[in-house]
Every structure is written in C-alpha cells, then in structure tokens.
Amino acid sequence: MTAKPLNFIHITDMHLSHPDLNDPDKHADTVANLQLAIERISELLPRPEFVIASGDLVNQGDVASYQLVKEMLEELGLPVVYALGNHDKRREFRQVFLAEPENDAPYFHRIVQGGLQIVTLDTSQPGRVSGGLCDAQFAFLEQALQEHPNQPTLLVLHHPPLIEEDTLPWESLSRKDSNRLMATLKGYPIVGMICGHIHRDRTCHWHGIPIQFSCGLYASFDVLRGPYMLVDEGIGIVFCTYRETGLSATFIPLLPKHKSLGEITQERLQSFD
C-alpha cells in the first residue's frame, strides 16, 4: 500500500525583532514579513501538516521577540518544529517555548510525522557565526537511527555540513563535524536535510543526501555579485512534500511582489494532452 504524501512548510531565518526592541541591526520589517508568510501558508492547498522553522528565529535572542514568534505561529494551528541558529539564544528560547528559564543546553529533539522521523539538531555555538555539533547530539542522533534503522529520516539543522571546499568558515559546520556527521548517517535511509543560514534558495546533494535551503524571511544574498555580499529584499517559504519516492520542494517567493501576467483556468489545465 502506497503511503499518503506528507506535506509540510519550511521557513527559516526570520530574524524577528519585537517592535519595542528598537533593534539597531534590523534592516527589514520582520514582523510584517512573518505575517505575510503566515497568510500565504494559511491559503495553501493541500493544507500542510506541520511547519519546520530552521533557526535564526529572532535577531537578538530576546524573550519578547521569541514570545512574539510563538504567538504569531500559533495562528497557523499547525505543529511547528523549531531549530536554533547563530542568532538564537538557548536560555531565552527555552524560557518561552519550554518554560525552562535556567536551561541553556543545546536544543535537539526527535518527532515522527506521517511515518517520517524528523531529527532536529542544534548547530548554534554561543558567540560564533559558524555551526557546530556536540558529542551529546551525535550520541542522540546515533541512538535515534539505531533504534529506528528502517524508518525514513529527515534532518533539520540551521547550518549545513561542509559541502564545497571554498565555503567560508562561518557558512557551515566544520570539516571535522561534517565528516563525523557523514559517518553517523552512513547506511541509514536519510531522505534529506532542511537547512537555513545562507539566505539563498538552493538545493544540492551531499554524499547522496539532498539538502534544501531557503532564502528565509529576512533578506536574500545575491549569488551573482563577485567577492562581496549584496543583500536583497527577497524573502520566501518552501512547500515540501515527502513521498516514498523522495523529497520534493517548491519555492514560493513572497517579496518582492511580482506582476501577474495572466491566469490559466483549471478547466484548461485539465484539457492539455
């Protein structure tokens, strides 16, 4: 019997700042951007079954901004899988989302949705832009895989593994952690990774594992601009579907808004041979 497709949404790099924060590092209306994403997600058909938010949830790691993220995403009425990025602060996140005000341990966890095992790791390293994974997380991941060796597994982590040799040090996990991650995953049915951090819509393969990035909900980096980084207005979300045949991703741009050139009716679409 063929399993039902599992639809979910990937959002990332919200960098949300509460309006009362007067964040000097904010360069976009992050609250409006997240609200726009929520409105579009609410309109999607088929309705997704959950949302993955892959890190940099807020810009300054403050409690008020986390509380606002929580309240806004609750409007969707969907489960949300949270990961932490380099802009996040573990203690403040745990205070708001887990009622653990004195805990600053890495936030990693496992859930199952529609037969898909989702393992979320915490690649944030306090005080650093680059990503890393501690021994406890490798042990957790290894245990999850060993206990469910035949279950398709999706990994969620803000920083991707080291994919290309010329990657800047802050863009990914270290070579050591990347190699260790590759060795840990070897032989298991890993259907893909969901990542953020690089502020670009991108898909690639790493040792046969598909990795899906999103430009996120703050800004995009123009990949065509030489040795420097140009920050653009573009934001978007990703509609993902997991089937027995694999993982697919449809990128949905939100800003800048594009001019519509026309409409093809459902009746005409169905008439095409």
DSSP string, 111-165: EEETTEEEEE-----TT-SSB---HHHHHHHHHHHHHSTTS-EEEE-SSPP--ST
The pTM is what? 0.94
Q: Record the tokens describing residue 112, joined without a space.
A: 């199952």
CA-nearest of 111, 34, 33, 28 to 70 is 34
Alpha-carbon distance of 137 to 142, in angstroms, equals 8
Residue 27's pLDDT is: 85
Alpha-carbon distance of 255 to 253, in angstroms, equals 6
Summarised one tens digit per residue, pLDDT across range 161-181 is 999 887 878 899 999 999 999
Domains and CATH numbers, the chain: 6-271 (3.60.21.10)
Neighbours of 155 (CB within 10 A): 22
pLDDT per residue of the chain (273 residues) written in tens, 0 to 9: 458 999 999 999 999 999 999 998 888 999 999 999 999 999 999 999 999 999 999 999 999 999 999 999 999 999 999 999 999 999 999 999 999 989 999 999 999 999 999 999 999 999 999 999 999 999 999 999 999 999 999 999 999 999 988 787 889 999 999 999 999 999 999 999 999 999 999 999 999 999 999 999 999 987 666 566 788 889 999 999 999 999 999 999 999 987 788 888 989 888 988
Summarised one tens digit per residue, pLDDT across range 87-119 is 999 999 999 999 998 999 999 999 999 999 999
